[in-house]
Structure 1
């Protein structure tokens, strides 16, 4: 048996980050223990808003250089009312995403059996799609500035950046994923080219060019405002969607609501070339109001840990983690308050690990 060893950098971050991260690590260790040929080692970093208040920095100056030595990064949550959001976001998350060319943000939108859905007459068979969000350029490129600050003629400029090389890569990934998912074999291009007559016209042009390489994949182009409406009216028509940084950010939070709330929202920030580590994070935020109370739903982090395994191992059996989550949801015995339960964060993690052991031992 060949042992696969991986070094994971863990950044619990702020608020509930420590609590949910512990459950993600717990699931990784449970999976590795039962598989027998996978081993994880962890190094923890104290970066985040609390670190910023002590040092004036969200992470060390040489933080990216330090993280290069790892196979993957597991991040809990970032944000605190004491630090402006644009500082906390750009100082850590965007710094890592852009510094490590994590060009793909992968967001599964899947309603699990037993999870709540705000849409009547919609079930797990209707909500199962994936959003590919461009992750290092677009509207979050950070290009812009202020002119005449504090004066009546003050002006703020924010410029979107779309490069052919990166846009082609994002589009190509979306088509490959649609082929791999084997659902409808369809990619939806999310755009707003009727209003954004340079950036989104360019985006649409690249989409059409890449589509010619995938004759077996159906395509459609839909404006982002219409997509937001259709998520509510007919989510079952979607398979893979590809969107710019801003549009992808917005529609995936709407998608999270469809799958039961942000407590189910997992994500991966992928460096496809594997030149640098990829980063895996739930997207529910730091929820400082419940910090330390063990009330946070850890399912998003556990799902995120599953995505980390997907990327590192490229094995199909990680789906057993989703099966374990689903089993706990259906039992309704060990759920956090957001799911109308009374269980603590660590109790939900323990329950999912228990189910995972049962499922894996029965199949392996």
Structure 2
């Protein structure tokens, strides 16, 4: 039997509801199999922790996570705190501290989901967006001077390094190579950002030579938004900078039906540190504590976590349960136009894992 140590960090808002739901699914999975066991440790870091300690996570937080096999994360964000404090103090501190430089976001239309692209079949929208996750527009380089005065100035620097661009493009080409269509779209903005993005384009051409069996093209980020809506079937694997992919992946999730169903993996592909898995929906304080949060994005993140751990059969077991539940409109939460609760969806997924013939 394999035992995996999983860190649970619910964070803020509905993260405190969907991460416990993710734990329930993993526990159901372990009960259904004789070859898997999970040991969980809960960390109460986030905005409430900040109010008590003036930091989002303790100074030794990374050391406490280092020995874990994976991290299941909820969300960071609280209307009572500035966004840069909640984001940089927790999620980005973990991502950058563990060099989780590859952010991977699969998107497809799950069974039973009424997606906005009415003329689009589920086969036409099956993408994976790879986001550079360690530098670029979120490098944290910059500053403010003369605060509060008319001459106040603020600068944010998009910092891209050759090694950072090479490794994310190499990761994206490799991922595209592993998918049936062997196709990659490299998103850029080198017509306006003439230094770092020109380097990005040049490195893309260099790395492409290592993957002669991958078909690839280049798209400007603004044109990419239109292509995602108008020609979804022309896309498969997509790679973009930290900011561009952040925006495009939210658009992709909305086109697939809801932000509530979309998962994310923050990966250290070299496996030096634990990788982190999370839904992309954010803290959603407007529905916090009402039992209305859609846990599907968390469950799909669990699938990605299991795949990263090498437990592909278990991952498919959970994915089959997710698809069985989304196929039933009575189990759709409000974001999908239904009335089901977080608990009802979670119970249904767990039941299907334990008894595949039941819903």
Of residues 152, 158, 162, the one that matches 2:160 is 162
Of residues 108, 111, 114, the one that matches 2:109 is 111
1:244-255 matches, within 5 Å, as 244-255=241-252
Is this contact kept in 2: 1:294–1:346, CA < 8 A?
yes
Matched, 1:226 2:252: no
**Helix, strand or coil: the match of 2:122?**
coil
**Helix, strand or coil: the match of 1:197?**
coil
Residue of structure 2 equivalent to 1:94? 92
- 1-side partners of 2:99 and 2:142: how far apart? 20
* CA shift for structure 1 position 195: 0.3
Is this contact kept in 2: 1:134–1:245, CA < 8 A?
yes
- 2-side partners of 1:357 and 1:95: how far apart? 37
* CA shift for structure 1 position 146: 1.3
* Shift in alpha-carbon separation, 1:17–1:156, aligned structure 2, 3 A: same
- 2-side partners of 1:357 and 1:123: how far apart? 31
Residue of structure 2 equivalent to 1:152? 150
Unaligned runs of 5+ in 1: none
With normalisation by structure 1, the TM-score equals 0.95
Is this contact kept in 1: 2:22–2:302, CA < 8 A?
yes
**Helix, strand or coil: the match of 2:18?**
helix
Is this contact kept in 1: 2:31–2:354, CA < 8 A?
no
Is this contact kept in 2: 1:320–1:360, CA < 8 A?
no
* CA shift for structure 1 position 316: 4.6
Residue of structure 2 equivalent to 1:292? 289
* CA shift for structure 1 position 78: 1.3
Of residues 252, 268, 284, the one that matches 1:271 is 268
**Helix, strand or coil: the match of 1:333?**
helix
Q: How many residues are aligned here?
A: 358
- 2-side partners of 1:149 and 1:83: how far apart? 19
Residue of structure 1 equivalent to 2:188? 191
* Shift in alpha-carbon separation, 1:232–1:345, aligned structure 2, 3 A: same
* CA shift for structure 1 position 317: 4.8
Q: Could you give the per-residue CA deviations for residues 89-134 of structure 1, whole angstroms, max 9, x where no partner exists? A: 0000111100000000000011112112111211211110100000
- 2-side partners of 1:255 and 1:203: how far apart? 23
More divergent stretch after superposition (232-241 vs 309-318): 309-318
- 2-side partners of 1:131 and 1:338: how far apart? 22
Matched, 1:334 2:336: no
* CA shift for structure 1 position 314: 4.7
Residue of structure 2 equivalent to 1:137? 135
Of residues 56, 74, 83, the one that matches 1:58 is 56
| Structure 1 residue runs of 4 or more that deviate by more than 6 Å after TM superposition | none
Residue of structure 1 equivalent to 2:37? 39
Unaligned runs of 5+ in 2: none
* Shift in alpha-carbon separation, 1:178–1:11, aligned structure 2, 3 A: same
* CA shift for structure 1 position 191: 0.2
**Helix, strand or coil: the match of 1:342?**
coil
- 2-side partners of 1:4 and 1:159: how far apart? 44
**What is the Cα-based RMSD across aligned positions, in Å?**
1.4
Q: Could you give the per-residue CA deviations for residues 208-229 of structure 1, whole angstroms, max 9, x where no partner exists? A: 1110001000010000001111
With normalisation by structure 2, the TM-score equals 0.97
Q: Could you give the per-residue CA deviations for residues 4-40 of structure 1, whole angstroms, max 9, x where no partner exists? A: 1111110111111121111111111222222311111
- 1-side partners of 2:352 and 2:234: how far apart? 32
